[in-house]
Structure 1
């Protein structure tokens, strides 16, 4: 990992650092805290928990903008126009920002779970990379004359994850194995469309994100299978039961089966839950 700007905020443990990063409404501070905490944790310069840790907030800190609206109110635009590409990058920045907080939340919220320290190694690497992704996308927006906050966004990602706040196995099913895995399905075609329009810089940002997201889904799959083995549950069946109980809607085909399988998420997990599969029954 590369060093990053050191935030001035003091913290006493990994859980404390993750909580402070989630709380921060300053997005430069949030991403710097996430990356600094990841570095210090991997160097074993932090304890996991401390009695001085602040309480975990119900919602992450956010700046005044963007305005949060219902998902259907976020319009779609053609990628063949500059406003359309900016709209896509803005939506992507919002996804990556939520991903930073979700990776930090799984660390802070479940810091008392009986799991190996390598669980937190994996999720802090995810948090570090999600912070990198947000910065990459925001920098690209600025190069195009825009910035994060210029357009409305929706709160669906955080709401979907918040429903699993009391169940680590369910959280793993919903966040990495549904929400992150969806990125493996859609990002390759978005890269191609960006290249078709001549926006090579944005396509290159999408490639960095795609390559890292494979690892994020793999972290989720590894620990989901670990917990299922400990609970003597069949992973695919447990995934389907947890998704039906904790996720609204159906999983959308088409799926990038190859990338999903490389990350440890085989079709036996998700095929029976897809809208395409169910519509043909």
Structure 2
């Protein structure tokens, strides 16, 4: 719930230190509170995706706008990883270890992108953003199976598809540091989607569900929008998507 960016990063570092010193208490809390709006600074203003201005990457503003949108995704990803730890209190020990690791990497990503944005003359919050990632996190807070299917395996997996073209665009305008950052993000996000895939499969096994059928059903029932390509099949395979899932995605490119 912390709103201050710098304090949030410090508190996350403290959480990681507490974890390494075995100071976590795994006793479930009496209640688990729904979080409609996780802690974030007053800016950026949040607007529907269709209301975001479209800027050309060749302009200074367009360049900064791309980095700002990436910073916004990475910031939201910190909150959603922490929410998984807090919300789903009956999971194995390794679940919390995995998602705390994801939260730490997302915070590192956010700091890198924020610094690069600063070098372009902007700060996180200077431009409007949308809140699709957190809204899906909120809408899937009743079931870890649905959360793992929709947040890491659908929304974050989309990042695996769109990052290589963004790297090419940044390379075309000579942004070497931006290219370096996005390569780190792509590498780490494969691991984050793999964490979601692993726990999705674990929950399917616990409930005697076929993972492929369950994933398709959840997409049909809960995903707002079209699942569409082009897909980065290599990255998705590295992130644990099965051959059956890859073949299915090829039919909806």
Q: What range is the shorter-chain TM-score in? A: over 0.9
Once the two structures are superposed, what CA deviation does each residue of 1:91-145 show, in whole Å capped at 9, x if it has no partner? 111111110100000110112x2x2100111100000001111111111111111
User: What is the distance in 2 between the residues matched to 1:168 and 1:50?
Assistant: 15
Match of 2:7 in 1: 29
User: What is the distance in 2 between the residues matched to 1:147 and 1:256?
Assistant: 31
Q: Identify the match of residue 88 of structure 1 among 66, 71, 80.
A: 66
RMSD of Structure 2 on Structure 1 (CA)? 2.0
Q: 1:157 to 1:123 in 2, by over 3 A?
A: same
Structure 2, unmatched stretches of 5+, are: none
The SS at the match of 1:147 is coil
Match of 1:131 in 2: 107
Tell me the TM-score normalized by structure 2: 0.93
User: What is the distance in 2 between the residues matched to 1:56 and 1:24?
Assistant: 15
Match of 1:194 in 2: 170
Higher mean displacement: 144-153 or 36-45: 36-45
Tell me the TM-score normalized by structure 1: 0.84
What is the 5 A alignment of 1:44-193? 44-49=22-27, 55=33, 57-111=35-89, 113=90, 115-193=91-169
Shift of 1:35: 3.0
Contact 1:271 1:277 in 2 (8 A): no
User: What is the distance in 2 between the residues matched to 1:72 and 1:214?
Assistant: 28
Q: Which has the higher contact order (CA 8 A, sep 6+)?
A: 2
User: What is the distance in 1 between the residues matched to 2:94 and 2:32?
Assistant: 23
Shift of 1:56: 5.7
Shift of 1:58: 2.8
